[in-house]
Amino acid sequence: MSYYPSKSDLKPLGAICLDYTDDIHRPPGDPLNEESFSFPLVHEMVSNATLWKIVQSEPYTDEFLQYFVDACEKLAEKGAIGIITSCGFLAQVQKRLSSKISLPLASSSLLQIPQILCIRPENEHVGVITFDESVLSDVHFDGVGITSIMRKRINVIGVPENGALRGVIRDGKPYIHEELKLEMIQCAIELIARNHQIKVIVLECTQMPPFARAIQEVVRLPVYDVITMIDWFYSGLNCRSIPEDKNKEAGLRKRLRSGKEKK
């Protein structure tokens, strides 16, 4: 089995933190909780990155984007080898921000959608559960390379306006795990009921991964989120170690080849 060395021997990922979520409860499964990964994180808050400045359907101004550039530069100084974020709506800055910083960037769980569509039959669709269905738009999909053709295979549902997740993030209400889990499961069920072609679920919001397994146990479909994206991202930046081949001598023999292998 491949493995990473101990966390103390690994270089960290840099995590962009937004300016409205510093006191939100972050259990394991949240990308800002270091228990979510087998590698370390370093954090940096982005000035002025408040909720409705981030969750919007219009492109960010160049002035606002500069706050993210500044945060990424500070993370590079802290020794980060790549940058992650704490909001799926930052998909819209993937291309713009990548062109302005020295470190590789993985902005959103939505980055996985083009690959998912490639590995699934063309008659299958992807369902996206998001914090705000009315805001998630072409500016976000375009930001991570999702074309208009791909969009025809994407179906989106938002969490309820006055539900548990909105209450935690927008209103500062208590984080009640069971309420959030039931809400996530219900969204997945409703999404699939709308379109039976949905065969994969992607969770946009970084608060959703703690409930991915619960969703999967109910709907029996693959579920991807920001944690699956970050695990993949880091595995290329810092390759896992592979166990030593204890049977090296066997590889020294000349392999017998059959006639079907010869020209």
The pLDDT tens digits for 60-101 are 999 999 999 999 999 999 999 999 999 999 999 999 999 999
Q: Which residue has the higher pLDDT, 9 or 12?
A: 12
Residue 157 scores a pLDDT above 90: yes
What pLDDT is attached to residue 214? 98
Domain edges within the chain: 7-237
Q: How confident is the model at residue 199 (pLDDT cuts 50, 70, 90)?
A: very high
Do β-strands 41-45 and 83-84 pair in parallel, antiparallel, or remain unpaired? Answer: unpaired
**CA end-to-end span of the chain:** 37
List all residues 6 or more positions away from 229 whose beta carbon is below 8 Å from its beta carbon: 106, 108, 109, 111, 112
The whole-number average pLDDT for the span 52-57 is 94
Between the CA of residue 230 and those of 105, 108, 172, what are the distances in Å? 10, 9, 27
The pLDDT tens digits for 204-263 are 999 999 999 999 999 999 999 999 999 999 999 999 888 888 998 888 888 777 777 777
Q: Where are the alpha helices (DSSP H) in the chain?
A: 51-54, 62-77, 94-98, 113-119, 138-143, 148-151, 164-171, 177-194, 212-219, 226-237
Residue 23 scores a pLDDT above 90: no
Spatial separation of the C-alpha atoms in residues 103 and 73, rounded to whole Å: 9
| Number of Cβ atoms within 10 Å of the Cβ of 200 | 20
| Number of Cβ atoms within 10 Å of the Cβ of 220 | 8
Q: Which residue has the higher pLDDT, 196 or 5?
A: 196
The pLDDT tens digits for 102-148 are 999 999 999 999 999 999 999 999 999 999 999 999 999 999 999 99
Q: What is the pTM of this model?
A: 0.93
What pLDDT is attached to residue 249? 87
Domain boundaries 7-237, CATH class: alpha beta
Give the H/E segment covering residue 128.
strand 125-130
Closest Cα partner for 113 from 93, 133, 91?
Answer: 91
For tokens 């990964």, name the residue: 37
Spatial separation of the C-alpha atoms in residues 19 and 68, rounded to whole Å: 11
